[in-house]
């Protein structure tokens, strides 16, 4: 169903406070907390005494104290102590490798003997002051592959996001999809069009005339296990399009980290990094608010789509040319799943 020997975003770093955080990832119930040196640790959310969720307990001096009977767990999943009882002979619970980077906690839900730090994706703009980031998270009741399909085929913008980023030129301009190794790239370039409302706002923010004709681009890139990055932007027509000087364009990257919760639900971490006016915190907040509304429109569509598919499992869906990005991404996932199982 989903790849396990990969790094997934579990949460934002700020979500882990003095209280443990419980979260299900790839059908694994996990609990996240700060270990003895401040590092984030992750264990199976299961107390070996009576099966209570450890996430209902508390973190104390780098260890996890069960909220049911006070059993103390170490970061390695082994029991440490319990008031009035000897518990060191208990079998350990699972511990999961974690990496804290880019303001997120990443977890490896698969075989700990195959953990590979080199598979951790690299994003230079998160640590680059020339870029600004703002984002959020939604819980969505849908198969993670439906979200990948959605992000790799942006023709839905014309209809689902008609009041913000949609426009008929997206339908009228063919896209191109290619596979490069384990990545799938779908790109669309539109020339001499009027910018939709969201991009008019972005143009004003970058001191560009919002009524000017623009060249617009969308470059969607899927990478395993389930990340989609989308280069988006507009440039004043005649200034070079995608390659235009930064003063003549508004350019961003939409960040989509899709973490499966169960077979039919996801934790969807969304955001946008931009190059124009990166120090403007008010602009970051406005873009985050606007983008949050856009993605909330996807939420209802995807959840209803999932319900339809579960209610009609024998229906065979049609595949059109606009579905190429999603189809090729699923092929990559299926191929890697076969290798992982082998």
pLDDT computed for residue 210 by the predictor: 94
List the domains of the chain with CATH numbers: 8-119 (2.102.10.10), 128-341 (3.90.380.10)
Residue 57's nearest CA partner among 67, 72, 69, 44 is 67
Cβ distance 214 to 234 under 8 Å? Answer: yes
Instruction: Please report where in the chains the tokens 């124009």 appear, as a residue.
Output: 276
The residues that bridge with 258 in the sheet, in sequence order, are: 268
Phi, psi of 328 (to 5 degrees): -70, -35
Phi then psi for residue 213, to 5 deg, are: -75, 145
Please list the residues that pair with 186 across neighbouring strands: 177, 220
Question: What local confidence, expressed as pLDDT, does residue 245 receive?
Answer: 95
Structure tokens at 71: 């059993």
**pLDDT tens across the length of the chain (342 residues):** 899 999 999 999 999 998 999 999 999 999 999 999 889 999 999 999 999 999 999 999 999 999 999 999 999 999 998 888 888 888 999 999 999 999 999 999 999 999 999 899 999 999 999 999 999 999 999 999 999 999 999 999 888 888 889 999 999 999 999 999 999 999 999 999 999 999 999 999 999 999 999 999 999 999 999 999 999 999 999 999 999 999 999 999 999 999 999 999 999 999 999 988 999 999 999 999 999 999 899 999 999 999 999 999 999 999 999 999 999 999 999 999 999 998
- Rounded Cα distance between 123 and 101, Å, is 10
The whole-number pLDDT of residue 267 equals 98
Predicted TM-score (pTM) of the model is 0.94
Please tell me the predicted confidence (pLDDT) of residue 84: 86
Burial of 70 (0-12, 13-18, 19+ CB in 10 A): middle
Rounded CA gap, 324 and 327, in Å? 5
Which among 20, 73, 19, 32 is positioned nearest to 259, based on CA atoms? 32
The span from the CA of 63 to the CA of 84, in Å, is 18
């Amino acid at each position: 169903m989903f790849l396990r020997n990969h790094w997934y975003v579990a949460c934002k770093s700020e979500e882990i406070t003095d209280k443990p955080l419980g979260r299900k990832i790839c059908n694994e119930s996990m609990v996240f907390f700060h270990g003895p040196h401040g590092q984030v640790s992750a264990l199976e959310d299961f107390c070996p005494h009576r099966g209570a969720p450890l996430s209902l307990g508390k973190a104390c001096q780098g260890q996890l104290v069960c909220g049911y009977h006070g059993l103390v767990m170490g970061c390695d999943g082994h029991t440490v102590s319990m008031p009035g009882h000897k518990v060191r002979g208990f079998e350990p619970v699972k511990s999961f490798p974690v990496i804290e980077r880019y303001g997120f906690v990443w977890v490896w839900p698969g075989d700990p003997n195959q953990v590979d730090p080199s598979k951790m994706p690299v994003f230079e703009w998160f640590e680059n002051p020339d870029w600004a980031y703002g984002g959020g998270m939604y819980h969505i009741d849908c198969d993670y592959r439906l979200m990948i399909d959605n992000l790799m085929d942006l023709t839905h913008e014309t209809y689902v996001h008609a009041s913000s980023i949609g426009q008929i030129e997206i339908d009228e301009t063919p896209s191109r999809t290619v596979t490069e190794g384990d990545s799938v790239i779908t790109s669309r370039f539109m020339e001499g069009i009027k910018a939709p409302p969201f991009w008019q706002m972005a143009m004003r923010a970058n001191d560009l005339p919002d009524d000017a004709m623009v060249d617009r681009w969308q470059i969607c890139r899927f990478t395993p296990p389930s990340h989609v990055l989308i280069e988006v932007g507009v440039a004043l027509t005649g200034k070079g399009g995608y390659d235009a000087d930064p003063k003549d364009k508004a350019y961003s990257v939409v960040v989509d980290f899709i973490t499966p919760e169960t077979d039919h639900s996801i934790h969807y971490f969304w955001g946008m990094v931009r190059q124009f006016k990166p120090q403007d915190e008010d602009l970051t907040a406005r873009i985050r608010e606007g983008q949050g509304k856009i993605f909330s429109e996807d939420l209802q569509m995807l959840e209803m789509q999932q319900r339809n598919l579960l209610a009609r499992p024998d229906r065979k869906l049609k595949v059109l040319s606009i579905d190429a990005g999603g189809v090729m991404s699923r092929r990559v996932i299926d191929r890697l799943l076969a290798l992982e199982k082998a």
